[in-house]
Amino acid sequence: MREYDCDKILLSDKDKFHFFESVDIGTIWNNQLNNIESTARKKFVTLVAKIFKRGTLVKIVTGGSTLLDQTLTFTRNAITIVAIVEIDREKIDLSRFKGDFETKVLHKKYESQLLYPELQCKLVEWWGYYFWEKCDNFDVNDHIKFLREPDFSKDSSANPEDFNKLINHVTHERIWVKEKPLWEILIMENVTTERARGQTLLIFRCSHVLCDGISVLKMSSNLFETDVPANKSVPQEFDNISSQIWLLLKIPYLFVSFVKNISSHVNRVPPPNKRLHEIPEIFTKTMESMPMSVFKRIKDAYGIDHLSLLLAGVAFAIRQTYLERGLKVDDEIKAGFIQPLPSHPMKLRNHFTAGSILLPIGEPDSIKRLKLISARIRKFRSTRVSIFAAFIYKMIYALPLPIVRQLWKNPPIQTPIMVNNICGPSQKYYLYGDQVSIPFIGVNMARTQNRGLAYDTRFHTYNGTGHLGVSGFEEYFSSTAEASKFLADCFSEWEKLSGMANTFEV
């Protein structure tokens, strides 16, 4: 399995220390929580399953994955991960590709056990908990197939609006079947894209209950070749035990403070457009940004981390949406972010943390705004609030499903801004000798249940270059051109900061 050297791509040496300082306690808490889950749930329910469902129920679904179900998995609002891979070839030998997938993925083992057994399982409920149950009628042909939809012309995918329709189709319109595994690979051949004519698209889809985006990238990497050896992972650094204990004692207080000052912030971004449809349209655009070496130079110049720089670009773009409409800019707007945890397991897992800060969009000066964001990110990480929140969530979602479903009936207001940072492969991929690119990675937005989300932004890396994407409901984007404008504003802020970096003193 190829490991992605995310830290080398995204973090300077100074950043590495702060990043690991913020997650070492999380490793300890996660291990303890797994022990709690094992004692309270797995030890008993799994034992009963082994007695009465031996050979049928493969494994119990973790609390983190149960959280991502929210009773939506078999609806059009299912939380679905989509990764589109573009290959520089007109056609693909489908039989060969299926055979490679079976050999390199389905039958891949680690320590004599299948590495991805969930790919041949369906999601079932038993004794009040979700399990992965083996599908006796599993057929790889049901999951790797051509996308034969008349609405998607092979010659029109170069048009951003048509490509947007394709993304909406694969994220929202294809509903998961209860008796089938929650993944598929759709293939389109001889497609004209923004990059070139005569391309093949591999569209990887899976339910978020199955795994996270990095799991999809790590799993799919088994299918590709690379001419660069994988880099070694960066070792973790740990605080001494006394500081860990002191932090554990402070976390409940810090969590309450966070809820009071940030989590309760309810400002919404004013929508520039009216909703025109009962089920709103969604407009999505992804563009290549800058080489990661340029991002690193900016980070080093200002003494900040990668996430702060991402948020600075987003803050400027949001600020522009106010100014261009002649609106008074709010002082702050809440922004949430998803961050992968280090040491992602080889298996299919949801292995990430989340957090939020208040973006100072009311600050007109770019450097002051950047430094404010950086200070708030550092403060947030120093509190380990996200670890405590993850602990609470996992405890809740380790409860039986009937109790959990009562909680889902009153979902919280969504954070107006979401930023997802996905560390992709650092090297170039090839499939059967032809070059591969990754034009899109994302998670769908619930089309009929928007509770305040304005802009869903995504940053992913591939082959040393960053790619930024954004999705928004029709109240915020009336076309992909407006989504492109949002991304262009992000890029212009990064370019401005890059231009001023030479004269800035940390």
Distance CA 263, CA 334 (A): 8
Give residue 148's pLDDT.
Answer: 80
Give residue 319's pLDDT.
Answer: 97
Contact assessment for residue 471 and residue 282, using Cβ atoms and an 8 Å cutoff: yes
Structure tokens at 319: 């600020």
Residue with the two structure tokens 């031996």? 54
Structure tokens at 468: 């930024």
Buried b / exposed e along 92-131 (16+ C-beta atoms within 10 A): beeeebbeebeeebbeeeeeeeebbebbbbbbbebbebbb
Q: Where are the domains of the chain?
A: 49-224, 241-430+444-503
* HSE (side-chain half, CA atoms, 13 Å) at 409: 6
Ramachandran angles phi, psi of 316, nearest 5°: -65, -45
Distance CA 171, CA 165 (A): 10
Give residue 455's pLDDT.
Answer: 95
Ramachandran angles phi, psi of 45, nearest 5°: -65, -40
Q: Which residues pair with 84 in a beta bridge?
A: 203, 440
Distance CA 497, CA 491 (A): 10
Nearest to 170 by CA among 141, 149, 140, 190: 149
Contact assessment for residue 218 and residue 206, using Cβ atoms and an 8 Å cutoff: no
**pLDDT per residue as tens digits for the range 145-171:** 999 866 666 666 678 888 999 999 999
- Please state which CATH class domain 241-430+444-503 belongs to: alpha beta
Contact assessment for residue 419 and residue 382, using Cβ atoms and an 8 Å cutoff: no
Give residue 3's pLDDT.
Answer: 37
Give residue 43's pLDDT.
Answer: 65
Contact assessment for residue 324 and residue 36, using Cβ atoms and an 8 Å cutoff: no
Residue with the two structure tokens 């992913």? 460
Task: Enter the DSSP assignment of 139.
Answer: -
C-alpha to C-alpha distances, 384 to 282, 391, 456, nearest whole angstrom: 34, 11, 24
DSSP string for residues in 427-451:
S--EETTEEEEEEEEEE---TT--S
- Please state which CATH class domain 49-224 belongs to: alpha beta
Give residue 27's pLDDT.
Answer: 46
Whether 49-224 shares its CATH topology with 241-430+444-503 is answered yes
Give residue 280's pLDDT.
Answer: 87
Q: Which residues pair with 442 in a beta bridge?
A: 82
Give residue 164's pLDDT.
Answer: 92
Give mean pLDDT in consecutive 10-residue pieces for the chain, a chain of 506 residues: 38 34 42 50 69 79 84 90 96 96 96 94 91 94 88 68 91 92 96 92 96 93 81 43 52 59 72 86 93 94 95 97 95 89 84 88 97 92 71 74 80 83 90 95 78 90 95 94 97 95 66
C-alpha to C-alpha distances, 389 to 263, 301, 354, 466, 491, nearest whole angstrom: 11, 33, 9, 29, 32
Distance CA 225, CA 427 (A): 10
